Amino acid sequence: MSEEVVTNKSVTYISNATPATITSSELDLASCYKDNEVVIEVHAAALNPIDLMTHQLCCSYVIGKYPKTYSRDYSGVIVKVGKNVDCRWKVGDKVNGMYEHIYGERGSLTHYLILDPAKNVPITHMVEVSKDENDPYDDFVYAAAWPLTFGTAFTVLHDYKKDWSPDSKVLVIGASTSVSYAFIHIAKKYFNIGTVVGICSKNSIERNKKLGYDYLVPYDEGDTVDNVKKLKENELKNKKFDMIFDSVGNHDFFPVIHQFLKPKEENSFYVTIVGYNKINYKNVSWRQFLSLGNILTAINPFKKYNWRLCQLSSSNNYIKIGNQMIKDGTYKPPIDSVYEFEKFQDAIDRLMSNRAKGKVVVKMK
């Protein structure tokens, strides 16, 4: 037997009828990778709602009865490099990124992740996060915490409207989500957008004010649409928004959208990353995804506004821009909580609570 055989532990599931569990397999580090692949010893991985959704929607009769590994975001150290891999990637490099997969046997909640860096392009060398002496987290935790959410926010701001300016106005439904945390930083510090209004719970208003939102409206005090309408009349000189960004799953504004969103001829967009309804993470069903509201909004040829359901695009440059903003100190990944590998279920429960403020991260070491 090779002297380089290690035990690789991963958090996996078979279907929605089986819980997430730790599974172990033997991995021969001398031979487990191809010429175009690297082996990363993972130090930290972050959970995302998509992990909860794919698990709960998994029917093994359709998808297959093999173990599927949790998570996409990772940070770690390269321990093996195939002979055809670009010379940018070397043994000992600290890297982070987003391993894109749906129902992959490989995922990032594992001790060793094998990937082709030319194909799994959201990968970069880690940068140091500015910290004070009381900061409880190390760079691996921060590095695992941002690629997917930052990339999603960047895609929303970058891929649709092309002419952002200090006069631009954006309404964010779900100002407290991790994606919106990245969104407000990118909007203000990268695209120089003048006015961003957020909608969040009244308990989160103080927290979100510090992030840079110009105005915040509670969704749990009075009627949200009315509250935004008053704000628009009193504070925005009744000017309409260039973009409404929904990171929750909402349709409250559709019946009166012409009062809030500029006409589509002015290059305005309603962009959602969820859909018509909020998804209950504790009980995810296909019915929520394939709701009539979602289908009608998507296909209605008569709607008078640009509506987009945004999917994270891994082809744009977000990983470089995220790194640069972290280096500049204009973005620091938000951490809600960190769990030991063996306590992965507590991490899943925390994300499922839908109260996390920042990323839920699992540490391997």
Kindly state the smallest distance separating residue 102's Cβ from ligand NAP, in Å.
12
Binding ligand NAP by CB under 6 A: which of 248, 325, 361, 362?
248
Which residues is 261 bridged to in the sheet? 241
Which residues is 335 bridged to in the sheet? 359
Q: What would the x/- binding string for ligand NAP be over residues 152 to 171, using CB under 6 A?
A: x-------------------
Q: Is 178 left (phi over 0), alpha (psi -120 to 50) or beta?
A: alpha
Kindly state the smallest distance separating residue 247's Cβ from ligand NAP, in Å.
5
Q: What would the x/- binding string for ligand NAP be over residues 256 to 295, using CB under 6 A?
A: -----------------xx---xx----------------
Q: Which amino acid is at 238?
A: N
Specify the residue, 8 or 71, whose C-beta has the smaller distance to ligand NAP. 71
Tokens at residue 177, please? 């989500």
Q: What would the x/- binding string for ligand NAP be over residues 171 to 210, using CB under 6 A?
A: ---x-xxxx--------------------xx-xx------
Task: Quote the CA–CA distance of 93 and 243 in Å, as a whole number.
Answer: 40
Specify the residue, 85 or 356, whose C-beta has the smaller distance to ligand NAP. 356
Pick the piece of the chain touching ligand NAP (CB under 6 A) from 9-17, 21-29, 43-51, 77-85: 43-51
Residues whose CB falls within 8 Å of the CB of residue 356, separated by 6 or more in sequence, listed in order: 178, 336, 337, 350
Task: Quote the CA–CA distance of 126 and 140 in Å, as a whole number.
Answer: 8
For the chain, count helices (H), then strands (E): 12, 16
Q: Is 129 in the site for ligand NAP (CB under 6 A)?
A: no
Q: Is 27 in the site for ligand NAP (CB under 6 A)?
A: no
Pick the piece of the chain touching ligand NAP (CB under 6 A) from 38-46, 146-154, 315-323, 341-349: 146-154
Tokens at residue 298, please? 């998507």
Q: Is 353 in the site for ligand NAP (CB under 6 A)?
A: no
Q: Kindly give the residue spans of alpha helices, DSSP state H, lying in the chain.
A: 49-56, 60-63, 139-144, 147-159, 178-189, 205-209, 224-235, 257-260, 286-289, 292-299, 318-328, 344-352
> Contact residues for ligand NAP (CB under 6 A)?
48-50, 148-149, 152, 174, 176-179, 200-201, 203-204, 219, 247-248, 273-274, 278-279, 310-312, 354-357
